[in-house]
Chains A and B, each alone.
Chain A
Amino acid sequence: MNEPASAQKGGLYSALRFTGIPPSWLEKRPKLPSRNWLIFIGVVTSIAGLYVDDRRKCKKIREEYTAKVRHLAEETLGTQDWPRKVTVYSCRYPEDHDHERSMVYFKRYVKPMLVAAAIDYDIINGNQYGALTGKVSDDIKKRRRELAGLQKSHEEELNSFIPLPGDRTPAGKARRQLEGGTVIIGRHSLKEYLEGVSRGWSGSAKVVDQEEAFAETLSDDVFDDPLGPPPTQESRTPPGGSLLPPPELSRGSANGLFGPIRQAPPPPPPKMPTFHMSDDPPATLPPQSPIGLVPFTNHLGFLQVPYMIYDFFTERHRVLAGCKAGYAIAMGQTRPMTKKDLDFDIQSEGFIKGSWNKLPKRIKESKESYYKDLTKDVKIARELAYGEREPTRAERSHPPKTEVELRTQRLKKELKWKEDLEGWEVLRGDVCWDERFEGVLSVFVDPQEHGHSF
């Protein structure tokens, strides 16, 4: 029985059969795992393989593109010169609670190229809708005032104290800014940026206190006091029996003895000398720095989770887009901006959440609920101020807001709602195109592709 069996088993059996290894082990044959195991292993391996392959390709793409620009970083720089500096504009994406996502996108996909090309960058991020428009237009108006000689630039004032090395004249600074370039992340930032440029070069360049101007437009009906001012003097007597109309009647009718009280306005801006040249907006704009456009689509919300999963496995597309944009910016080849460029990244608009269109309704609703609570709070504040009743225990531990605080809070909230609405209007519409932009704006192009627009 054993003789024919050992003849079948062959070399391995006869070599190892006396080593103490259980003989059943020497008779084993290779066997596939069960069907379920095969399915599991197949699925996990293919998903992991997709991920690993994608990240490897990303690394290759990054290395390839950074190698293309490395020669820029190896040029020499004199001790009195500055390196090239670009300004990066990003702003809050519509319906995104995170206002820095565009900035993070820039840092992940475009910044490595700028670092490899030894280009310095300055990031200006708009934290709310419309904030970038405001910043850009304010900067341009400041520039207009400096050009008109009405306001000394920061550098001039420093230079007058201590002369520092390097070309720090405003002309030199403007030239460096012009040659540096602008980077814009996403279609929403482009809208806000062009709107800001258009607004900055329109209208007057005078300093205007937005808050003051806005505060004038607010109605003070909510703070109407039918009973008169609180007894700030010693006497606690109610201020004249004739001034006591029943509260429920006079809300909104008479002006109230308070009248529109505002909190102390911020210190007025330093008085400007009268304009000796015209304050009218110029008919043609000075040449603007070339713009590098970086496409950015943000997937938000539960319904876009499939897109997010797809994006997780196709990071190489975004790396390639970011590297191409960074390469175009680094090489510095430009072409004039045309109206066709206003369709930049238009496919990203299809992915904006539907609730974006309902923003004004949401603001209206929050306004209504706020004003409802406000009348109650004003009543409580007045009651405590007049001394009509003692504060309850809860109120003693957490003193409710006084009237002045309520007014400032209301002003702040109204200002924020107004800015949100304005930003929404800018972002909802098309990219702004001023006639004066023709021939003044330019776009960075990829030298290899001879300028293909997005």
Chain B
Amino acid sequence: MSPGGVDHEKIEGAVIELDMMTDVFNRMVATCASKCLSQRYAEGDLTKGESVCIDRCVGKFIEANKVIGEKLRESGGGLNPGGI
């Protein structure tokens, strides 16, 4: 329904943004899991200590990502769109 040319760029931009977000998410999961979760466990649910730790880890990660993104945007002129 819409002209093909313009959409192509938008789609590519969206794909790049999605890739960035997935990358950030995977990194966050890997970092926080390695910091907060122990290797030995008795049941499937997370313990309270681990949950609280993960809450805080994710909060700090997102905050740090936001700050770094803003700094990069200021200095780099926003070459890479994306980031949470």
Q: Does B55 sit at the interface, judged by CB under 8 A?
A: yes
> Which residue of chain B has its CB nearest to the CB of A116?
B49
Q: How far is the CA of A345 from the CA of B45 in the complex (A)?
A: 42
B49 near A74 with CB under 8 A, answer: yes
Query: Is B46 among interface residues, defined by CB-CB distance under 8 A?
Result: yes
Chain A residues closer than 8 Å to B52, beta-carbon distance: 73, 83, 115, 118-120
Taking the nearest CB of chain B, how far is it from the CB of A343, in angstroms?
34
What sequence of 0s and 1s flags, for each residue 61-74 of chain A, a beta carbon within 8 Å of any chain B beta carbon? 00000000000111
Residue B48 CB within 8 A of the other chain: yes
* Count, chain B residues at interface, CB 8 A: 10
Any B CB within 8 A of the CB of A77? yes
How far is A72 from B48 in the complex, measured between Cα atoms in Å? Answer: 8
Interface residues of B, dominant DSSP: helix
In the complex, residue of chain B having the shortest beta-carbon distance to the beta carbon of A75: B48
List A contacts of B49 (CB < 8 A): 73-74, 116, 118
**A76 contacts B55, C-beta separation under 8 Å:** no
- Interface size bucket, A side? 10 to 19
Are A118 and B47 in contact, CB atoms less than 8 angstroms apart?
yes
Interfacial residues of chain B within 57-83, with CB under 8 A of chain A in the complex:
none
Q: How far is the CA of A74 from the CA of B47 in the complex (A)?
A: 5
Q: Please tell me if B31 contacts chain A, counting CB pairs below 8 Å.
A: no
List the A residue with the shortest CB-CB distance to B49. Answer: A73
User: For residue A121, which residue of chain B has the nearest CB?
Assistant: B52
Does any Cβ of B come within 8 Å of A78's Cβ?
A: yes
A83 touches B45 (CB 8 A): no
Chain A residues with Cβ below 8 Å from B53 are 118
Check B22 for interface membership: any CB of A closer than 8 A. Answer: no
List of A residues within 8 angstroms of B9 by Cβ: none
B6 CB to nearest chain A CB (Å): 30
In A71-100, the 8 Å CB interface with B consists of 72-79, 83-84
Q: Could you say which residues of chain A place their CB within 8 Å of the CB of B45?
A: 76-79
- B12 in the interface, Cβ–Cβ < 8 Å? no
Specify which chain A residues have a CB less than 8 angstroms from the CB of B43 in the assembled complex.
76
Contacts of A75 in B (CB 8 A): 47-48
CB distance from B59 to the nearest CB of A (A): 11
Q: In the bound complex, what is the Cα–Cα distance between A315 and B48 (angstroms)?
A: 30
Residue of A nearest to B55 (CB): A120
Extra A-B contacts (5), CB below 8 Å, given A74-B48, A75-B47: A76-B43, A76-B48, A77-B46, A118-B48, A118-B49
26 of the cross-chain contacts (CB-CB < 8 Å) are: A72-B48, A73-B48, A73-B49, A73-B52, A74-B47, A74-B48, A75-B48, A76-B43, A76-B46, A76-B48, A77-B45, A77-B47, A78-B45, A79-B46, A83-B48, A83-B51, A83-B52, A83-B55, A115-B52, A116-B49, A118-B47, A118-B48, A118-B49, A118-B51, A118-B52, A120-B52
B positions within 8 Å CB-CB of A: 43, 45-49, 51-53, 55
**Chain A residues in the interface with B (C-beta under 8 A):** 72-79, 83-84, 115-116, 118-120
Q: Which 7 A-B pairs have the closest CB atoms?
A: A73-B49, A118-B48, A76-B45, A118-B49, A77-B51, A118-B52, A77-B48
